[in-house]
Structure formats: structure tokens, C-alpha cells
């Protein structure tokens, strides 16, 4: 389970997150939606501490890190929490000098110190899982955006994290390639992978998210089951945003 409590985060004096709290139950998928600048990507990065909150608490499974102004956080606690997460980025962030297989193996070898044989076996299994086994020896430059993102998902899953964090995983892709990634993430959701994702992609959020949180101005404005938030949102800001997303999706279809 992920529990984020009263997270505050500012950049250069501008408060981006204003005391945000949320819970992601184990085995569920929660989507963070909202306009650009609403704080959803910052919130996601605070969960695995790529960004350090000024105050609040982050808990993943048994790992807990508390933040207070002026108090230095123990690096061991940060690493313990971060190891429970896998991160999928908008721009893939594959190592260009490594093959698809080597990209998935890299963290297992360098961080977890697995043997090369075990890391290769695990990476091969995961590339098969995301439909990329036939591209194991390909360089990232020779893969489409959708293929690169599927390799990135396999890499994030390699250490068996407690939660998969996805930051706009389809936004750099055209609708057809995005569909490949949506299907992979949907399959992971069906298998019970816990996920927290920030997305503008209505198809992605409505297909796989069990719960949706709408952020605006650094606050959670509305939250609830996916069908409720997309089908009958209560807050006027959510209604406007969902309507704008739906019109874009129709235009792309």
C-alpha cells in the first residue's frame, strides 16, 4: 500500500503541492489527472523521492519517510523506500549504448548485485511479458517509441517493486503506439500490479484505473472510482477537464 500524508512541495517559493494526501491500496491502479502545472508529476516524483517534500510523510509497504522543514532525511531510509518503486518516465530514458535486454538487466546487476545469469533470465522473462522478446538485442535507436516504452516498463518491473509509478507513459507517443503501451499496462493491472500514474491519456486512465484523483493548483479537487469521476464528475473544474480530454480523444480516434 502507498500512503502519502500532507505532502507540501515548493519550488523557488511557489507552492506546487499544498498538503496532498492519498492512499493507493495494494493491487489497485490510481490515476492522477489534471491540467499542466497542477502538481501531478511532482506528486508522483515525491512518492519515490526524486523530489524531496518540504513536509509530510510517504509510506510504501513497511518503508516510511517523514519530512520536516530543516530536518535532514536519512539516506538509508530514502533508498529503502525508493527500492520499493519502479518508475516509468515520459521520455523512456533507456541507455542508448545498451540493448533492450541489457537495459532491463542493468539495475539488477549494478544496484541489486544479481549474477549475470539470473539477471539475464529475469530480463528475458520480462521482455516476453511486454511483447518485446524478439527485440532483445535491438538498440533503443532502432525501436519505435512504443517499443522503447515497453522496454522501459520491463526495466521498471525487473526488481519486483511494490508499486509501479508511471509519469505520462503515453504522452510522447502517437495514438497507435500509445495503444501498445496501454495494453501492456492493462495486462499488468489485470494481474494485480499496484500502480500510481500521472496521465493526460483518457483512454489509459479510463481503461485501467480503478480510482482517479483530479488535481488542480496543488490540491486534490475530486477523487473517486474511475467510472464516477469520468462519467459524472461533481466539481466544475473536473467536468471541464474531462470534457476537454474526451474531445481530444474523439478527435484522435
Mean pLDDT (the chain) is: 93
Residue 79 predicted with pLDDT over 50: yes
pLDDT of residue 247: 62
**Secondary structure of residue 214 in the 3-state scheme:** strand
Residue with cell 495503444: 179
pLDDT of residue 253: 47
Residue 228 predicted with pLDDT over 80: yes
Name the CATH code of domain 2-252 (choices 3.30.70.20, 3.40.50.1000, 3.30.230.10, 3.40.50.300). 3.40.50.300
pLDDT of residue 248: 55
Give this prediction's pTM: 0.93
Environment class of residue 24 by beta-carbon count within 10 Å: exposed (0-12), middle (13-18) or buried (19+)? buried
Q: Please state the domain extents for the chain.
A: 2-252
Provide φ and ψ at 15, rounded to 5°. Answer: -80, 115
Strands in 63-218 per DSSP E: 63-67, 85-88, 163-167, 195-198, 211-216
pLDDT of residue 46: 95
What pLDDT band is residue 55 in, cutting at 50, 70 and 90? Answer: very high
Q: How far is CA 27 from CA 69, 89, 189, 211, 237, in A?
A: 33, 21, 8, 12, 29
What mean pLDDT do residues 103-113 have? 96
Strands in 101-236 per DSSP E: 163-167, 195-198, 211-216, 219-225
Instruction: Kindly report the length of the chain.
Output: 253
Amino acid at each position: 500500500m502507498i500512503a502519502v500524508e500532507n505532502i507540501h512541495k515548493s519550488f523557488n517559493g511557489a507552492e506546487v503541492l499544498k498538503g496532498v494526501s492519498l492512499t493507493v491500496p495494494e493491487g489497485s491502479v490510481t490515476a492522477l489527472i489534471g491540467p499542466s502545472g497542477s502538481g501531478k508529476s511532482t506528486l508522483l516524483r515525491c512518492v519515490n523521492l526524486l523530489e524531496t517534500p518540504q513536509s509530510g510523510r510517504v509510506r510504501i509497504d513497511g518503508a516510511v519517510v517523514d519530512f520536516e522543514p530543516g530536518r535532514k532525511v536519512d539516506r538509508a531510509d530514502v533508498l529503502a523506500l525508493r527500492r520499493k518503486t519502479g518508475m516509468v518516465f515520459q521520455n523512456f530514458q533507456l541507455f542508448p549504448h545498451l540493448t533492450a535486454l541489457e537495459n532491463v538487466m542493468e539495475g539488477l546487476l549494478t544496484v541489486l548485485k544479481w549474477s549475470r545469469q539470473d539477471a539475464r533470465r529475469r530480463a528475458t522473462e520480462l521482455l516476453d511479458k511486454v511483447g518485446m522478446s524478439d527485440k532483445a538485442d535491438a538498440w533503443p535507436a532502432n525501436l519505435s517509441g512504443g517499443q522503447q516504452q515497453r522496454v522501459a516498463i520491463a526495466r521498471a518491473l525487473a526488481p519486483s517493486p511494490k508499486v509501479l509509478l508511471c509519469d505520462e507513459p503515453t504522452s510522447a507517443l502517437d495514438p497507435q503506439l500509445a495503444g501498445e503501451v496501454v495494453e501492456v499496462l492493462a495486462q499488468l493491472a489485470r494481474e494485480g500490479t499496484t500502480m500510481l500514474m500521472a496521465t493526460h491519456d483518457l483512454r489509459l486512465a479510463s481503461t485501467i484505473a480503478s480510482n482517479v484523483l483530479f488535481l488542480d493548483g496543488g490540491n486534490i479537487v475530486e477523487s473517486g472510482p474511475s467510472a464516477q469521476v469520468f462519467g459524472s464528475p461533481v466539481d466544475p473544474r473536473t467536468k471541464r477537464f474531462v470534457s476537454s480530454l474526451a474531445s481530444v480523444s474523439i478527435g484522435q480516434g
